[in-house]
Structure 1
Amino acid sequence: MNNSLPAWISIDSDSADSFIIALHCQPGAKKTEVQGEHDGRLKLRLAAPPVEGKANEALIQWLSKKLEIRRTNIELLAGDLSRLKRVRVQGLTADQLKTILLV
């Protein structure tokens, strides 16, 4: 495994095959896209309004499509009502996460 992982990817202490991604989400954007890094988190712009969980749903749907994994392999751990979110992702290596999300 690559020892130079970004600060926004951490190993999940509860499961050997999953990782935690720290995100800074900005809802209400024209399109969903990675915007780089911000304060040790991966910054995402979300094309969904921050109302009634729509941004959270858009986040999980986008991650599922981008990472080519099932939605059941993605879990929002923290940040339901915040821009700062933590998401558990199963089924990929940390290097795969880094490569896919930073393209």
Structure 2
Amino acid sequence: MSDLPGFARPTEAGLILHLRVTPNAGRDAIEGIESRDDGTSVLRVRVRAVPDKGKANAAVIALLAKALGVPKSALGVVSGETSRLKTLLVAPSTPDLVTRLAALAG
């Protein structure tokens, strides 16, 4: 799994993804990797949904599920429910999933 982009890391449960989400955007889009000031990398995601009662989180999960070719039930928010910086778990991890993540990284 050394082919993983910087915003993803493997765990026993699956893959952990670090995201920076912009809710209430003009369009739903995955914009690629952003390097943060602290040296970490995140995947930038924009969604049209408003950050109200989990609507933006649901939109992020739907967008990523479609892009990764996995069911929405395979993704879950691990941390950052109400933050722009979110950590998601994708389970289970497969070689095809790693390939799709690399493609998202741009």
Alpha-carbon distance between aligned partners in 1 of 2:101 and 2:62, rounded to the nearest angstrom: 18
Alpha-carbon distance between aligned partners in 1 of 2:47 and 2:28, rounded to the nearest angstrom: 4
Structure 1: which 5+ runs fail to align?
Answer: none
**What are the superposed Cα offsets for residues 51-94 of structure 1, whole Å, 9 maximum, x if unpaired?**
11110010111111111211111111011000000111124336
Alpha-carbon distance between aligned partners in 2 of 1:60 and 1:66, rounded to the nearest angstrom: 10
1:95 paired residue among 85, 90, 98? 98
Farther off after superposition, 25-34 or 3-12 = 3-12
TM-score (norm 1): 0.83
Percent of aligned positions that are identical? 28
Match of 2:69 in 1: 68
Shift of 1:34: 1.4
Shift of 1:4: 4.5
Alpha-carbon distance between aligned partners in 2 of 1:24 and 1:33, rounded to the nearest angstrom: 12
1:21–1:89 CA contact under 8 A, matched in 2: yes
The AA in structure 2 aligned to 1:49 is V
Q: Give the secondary-structure state (helix, strand or coil) at the position aligned to 1:66.
A: helix
Match of 2:7 in 1: 8
Structure 2: which 5+ runs fail to align?
Answer: none
Alpha-carbon distance between aligned partners in 2 of 1:97 and 1:88, rounded to the nearest angstrom: 15
**What are the superposed Cα offsets for residues 5-33 of structure 1, whole Å, 9 maximum, x if unpaired?**
32201011x32xx1000000011111111
Alpha-carbon distance between aligned partners in 2 of 1:48 and 1:54, rounded to the nearest angstrom: 6
Change in Cα spacing, 1:99 to 1:50, as seen in structure 2 (3 Å) is same
Q: What is the aligned-residue RMSD (CA, Å)?
A: 1.8
1:66–1:100 CA contact under 8 A, matched in 2: no
Match of 1:22 in 2: 18
